[in-house]
Structure 1
Amino acid sequence: MKPPSNPRSGILLVDKPQGITSHDVVARARKSIGTRKVGHAGTLDPMATGLLVLGVNNSTRLLTWIVGLDKEYTATIRLGAASNTDDADGDLGQRVDAAALAAVSAEAIATEVAALTGPISQRPSSVSAIKVDGTRAYTLVRAGEEIVLAERPVTVRAFDVLDTRRADWIDLDVRVECSTGTYIRALARDLGAALGVGGHLTALRRTRIGPFTVDAASGLDADLAPAMLEPAEVATTLFAQVRLDAQHSADLAHGKRIPLSVESDRPIAAIDPDGRLIGLVENIAGRAHVLVNFPPDTRHEEGTA
């Protein structure tokens, strides 16, 4: 008989190290916490570091509302050659000569960075996880197929050049705030193309997802179970809240449309008298319509080996 799994639900902020996949992080979190039910709100490439938001047990239901939040990154863009993966993990194309690189002025960089800021149309990297006829694009590329994905609208709210280093390359340390679905690798590619010298990403770190920052995240070497955030804490950080009495809490948990005075065009977090998240609801004509419920955590036995 396997030991009982950890029934506790919560949201976990993890600082992903370089060189492992996001799925590796999930696997290690499962082992550390003692449960199989762990999901994530958006992956990071193996070369990238920074914030991963994990949902544990019933709190995986919250991930739907976290994955679409704005993101913030710091990155290093290298100008002087393109890459077939738009980053340093791929094969570099021909490098431009020193004269062409020297001709790229700070003013030209600023102009093209500004052109990539705001609402833009972006072609995702061909090695992204976007599916093409049911298969991930990166799988097709690694099998030798040439993939050109359709452009899509994204918003780059900030694209700041923090430092510029000139030697054999031009390396730009940048900070980017963007909508979900924005590819920083694609920004590097497009900036290099606009400047006529090619560009690719050499470092990437996700520093924020919505209100959650990497400064509050745990390393993978930590005991992760105590680091989980309570579902109610997360939900009330993201949404307006309504505090319910015991009767209304029970009614809502059973799907009844209880009276609701809180107005919001986004979900509303319903909290019971003990501070537990009952569900996310929307106000329709003064009644709470349940978007998703969060049952109490219940310990159970795993099946036999």
Structure 2
Amino acid sequence: MVGAGILLVDKPGGITSHDVVARARRALGTRKVGHAGTLDPMATGLLVLGVEGATRLLTYIVGADKTYEATILLGVTTDSDDADGAETARADAADLAAVTDEAIAAGIADLTGDIAQVPSTVSAIKVQGRRAYDRARAGETVELKARHVTVSRFDVRGTRREETSIALDVVVDCSSGTYIRALARDLGRALGVGGHLTALRRARIGPFDVASAASVDDIAESALVTPAVAAATVVGALAVSGDDARDLRHGKRIDGGGRLTGERAAAIDPDGRLVGIVERRGSQLKSVMNMPEEVAP
């Protein structure tokens, strides 16, 4: 039986995140596999999978900041804000020629920092119990509210100009919930020529990097990151005694709130196993997520 852990997978284009989860379930021989953040079929890059009891850690990973590498095509608008959608408008060559590098830089600056972003209508956000993309594909009018997100880096790595388009290769660091398709749409709109996303690759989720990820074909042979290592990487580690580990597993609070420097930490028992995630409660610590107890090796 496969043990609990975190698995990093480099998703290829053309398949869904659920397809990757299904492959992992077959390869690892377990139904208990989940992921921390969906990638569209067009997108490639990092999926963080939780296996067995480590699925409980995904809630602490899904909200982490992310890094994306993307290509934005200015001059063409689509109904999905990406290359999978139908073209809805195309800019005149004269309008494109008037878009200077300085104007692009100014438009990007306006989309950097704390911004209010309206997600794409084909996003997975639920509207009255149904996914926005399901409503949009059914021909319904979808109006999503703006949400506050943070774009801490929005850099242009390359520019390729054609008569009918301008392609920008960009890298974006952003908070969870940021839509890169919406950045492409809003940049094109601000420049008066429209725009959409033609390529997207997720390079990082929190402390996890795609460089360490396995291909979907190598899942069965890939080593899992242990729950203790994964949790300590995400929230930091806090060593606890055997007695404290037992008390935390039984729902009791323990002394030692002053030892916690951040909001929470991964409590690690003397055998190196993850007890759970603890938070400060005054001068004490309380486990807010307990792992299923492992058998000591």
TM-score exceeds 0.5: yes
Moved more, 270-279 or 220-229: 220-229
Hey, which bits of structure 1, 4+ residues long, moved more than 6 A?
none
1:174 pairs with 165, 170, 175, which one? 170
**Offset, 1:297:** 4.4
Q: Which residue pairs with 1:239 in the alignment? A: 235
CA contact (8 A) 1:8 1:297 kept: no
1:106 aligns with 2:109: no
1:183 aligns with 2:179: yes
Q: Give the SS at the match of 2:204.
A: strand
Distance across 2 between alignment mates of 1:223 and 1:11: 12
Distance across 2 between alignment mates of 1:123 and 1:239: 30
Distance across 2 between alignment mates of 1:196 and 1:259: 60
**Offset, 1:265:** 3.8
Q: Give the SS at the match of 1:69.
A: coil
Gaps of 5+ in 2: none
CA contact (8 A) 2:7 2:50 kept: yes
Q: Which residue pairs with 1:142 in the alignment? A: 137
Q: Which residue pairs with 1:252 in the alignment? A: 248
CA contact (8 A) 1:58 1:297 kept: no
1:282 pairs with 279, 282, 286, which one? 279
**Offset, 1:244:** 1.9
Distance across 1 between alignment mates of 2:4 and 2:219: 15
Distance across 1 between alignment mates of 2:58 and 2:203: 18
TM-score by length of 2: 0.96
CA contact (8 A) 1:33 1:225 kept: no
Task: Quote the RMSD (CA, aligned, Å).
Answer: 1.2
1:272 aligns with 2:269: yes
Moved more, 277-286 or 101-110: 277-286
1:65 pairs with 60, 71, 82, which one? 60
**Offset, 1:248:** 1.9
Moved more, 50-59 or 241-250: 241-250
Q: Which residue pairs with 2:21 in the alignment? A: 26
Q: Give the SS at the match of 1:296.
A: coil
Q: Which residue pairs with 2:291 in the alignment? A: 294
2:193 pairs with 194, 197, 208, which one? 197
**Offset, 1:227:** 2.1
Gaps of 5+ in 1: 1-5, 299-305
Q: Give the SS at the match of 1:147.
A: coil
Higher strand fraction (1 or 2): 2
Moved more, 140-149 or 194-203: 140-149
Distance across 1 between alignment mates of 2:221 and 2:259: 33
TM-score by length of 1: 0.93
Number of aligned pairs?
293
1:207 aligns with 2:207: no
Distance across 2 between alignment mates of 1:147 and 1:239: 37
Distance across 1 between alignment mates of 2:156 and 2:219: 36
**Offset, 1:64:** 0.6
**Offset, 1:7:** 4.4
Q: Give the SS at the match of 2:216.
A: coil
1:16 aligns with 2:6: no
Distance across 2 between alignment mates of 1:185 and 1:139: 18
- After superposition, residues 70-149 of structure 1 pair within 5 angstroms as 70-149=65-144
CA contact (8 A) 2:273 2:294 kept: no
Moved more, 60-69 or 94-103: 94-103
CA contact (8 A) 2:214 2:222 kept: no
Aligned-pair identity (%): 60
